[in-house]
Amino acid sequence: MESIYDKKKQRLSIVLFPSDYFNPSVVDGDFENEYRAVLEQPNLMPLIFSYEGWFQQGKMILSGDLPKTASKAVYRGWMMQPEKYAQFYEALKERNILLTTSPEEYGRLHVFPNAYPYVKEDSARILCFKLHEPIQISSVLKEFPWFMVKDFVKSVKGSDFPKFFDSSFSQEDFDHWMEVFYKYRGDLLTGGICIKEYLNLKKYDGKTNEYRAFYANNEMISFEPNSGQGTFTPAPPAQMLKKYQSVESPFYTVDYAELADGSWKVIETGDGSVSGLSDRQDVRAFYRSLYLAFS
């Protein structure tokens, strides 16, 4: 059996992508640019797994030739609940594909309350609740004058759900919006409810100033604007970026945001497998850096 030590010694050779829903041999259109970038890397090979087969049927169906010996791989695709990722990891291991990120490491950065102990010195404060546990808004407001609602992984951005809650919301209002939250998250609900202190972010021409850093093998391999802001906006302090390059995971992201007072906070963490690249990302450079970090 391949040991963790052996896996770490190997060079990265495979990047795994989900397929188009209707065509298991074609990469999902949202990852086409990344797939092409991997094709251009002489030491990397992209593989595609059937989206419908895995996410709908629980079957691992791969396109292309499977490796004959144990080969180190990185996944780049859609989020999975930690339990599903553990199954994913084992299904690939049976096919000689060893994902760099173990199920334990995936859960550590993908589930924010798990990551919180690593970043709490520079992060918004949080309160955690079990799913469907009654939450008294008056009690929360004693801790935070403004707060936002997520599950342990995601919020419901891009909807009519309030960006934050404050004392203008009654308990009845809040209970109503929690019902809406559960409806919107549906089968994607993960872990529990995470109440986060709402931070007043600085804006430039109406855009917040956020950056996403990818870390691989304890190196920062990518650092890009992540909120559509202009080119000439301040960046987080270098010492803050360095501070979080040694979290106990081989491939992860940390999102940084500037506050209205000019200070900086960590606003999110994520597993690198399921964190999106920034709009202005040089995708080929990203994969060159990823390969070198694991080699």
Q: What is the pLDDT of residues 226-279, one digit of tens each?
A: 999 988 899 999 999 999 999 999 999 999 999 999 999 999 999 999 999 999
Q: What is the pLDDT of residue 157?
A: 84
Give the count of beta carbons closer than 10 Å to the beta carbon of residue 160.
Answer: 8
Q: What is the pLDDT of residue 9?
A: 55
**What angle do the packed helices 112-119 and 103-110 form, to 10 degrees?**
70
Q: What is the pLDDT of residue 8?
A: 52
Report which of 243, 251, 276 is spatially closest to residue 8, judged by C-alpha positions: 251
Residue 91, CA atoms < 13 Å, CB-side half-sphere = 17
Q: What is the pLDDT of residue 11?
A: 86
- Using DSSP's 3-state secondary structure scheme, residue 103 falls into helix
- Measured CA to CA, the distance from residue 37 to residue 17 in angstroms comes to 12
Q: What is the pLDDT of residue 231?
A: 84
Average pLDDT over the chain, rounded to an integer: 94
Say if residues 156 and 181 touch (Cβ distance below 8 Å): yes
Give the count of beta carbons closer than 10 Å to the beta carbon of residue 295.
Answer: 12
- Measured CA to CA, the distance from residue 12 to residue 150 in angstroms comes to 34
Q: Is 3.40.50 the CATH number for 4-100?
A: yes
Which residue shows structure tokens 């940390």?
Answer: 254
Q: What is the pLDDT of residues 137-192, one digit of tens each?
A: 999 999 999 999 999 999 998 889 999 999 999 999 999 999 999 999 998 999 99
Report which of 196, 195, 229, 193 is spatially closest to residue 211, judged by C-alpha positions: 229
Whole-number percent of the chain with pLDDT over 70: 97
- Measured CA to CA, the distance from residue 220 to residue 239 in angstroms comes to 12
What's the Cα-to-Cα distance from 271 to each of 159, 237, 275, rounded to whole Å? 24, 22, 6
Q: Domain 108-121+201-283 adopts which CATH fold?
A: D-amino Acid Aminotransferase; Chain A, domain 1 (3.30.470)
Q: Does residue 281 carry a pLDDT above 50?
A: yes
Q: Does residue 1 carry a pLDDT above 60?
A: no
User: What residue segments make up the domains of the chain, in order of their start?
Assistant: 4-100, 108-121+201-283, 125-197
pTM of the model: 0.93
Which residue shows structure tokens 């990891």?
Answer: 89
pLDDT band at 2 (very low <50, low <70, confident <90, very high): very low
Angle value at C-alpha 126, between 105 and 257, nearest 5 degrees: 80
- Measured CA to CA, the distance from residue 131 to residue 246 in angstroms comes to 31
- Measured CA to CA, the distance from residue 259 to residue 241 in angstroms comes to 16
Pairing mode of beta strands 126-129, 147-151: unpaired
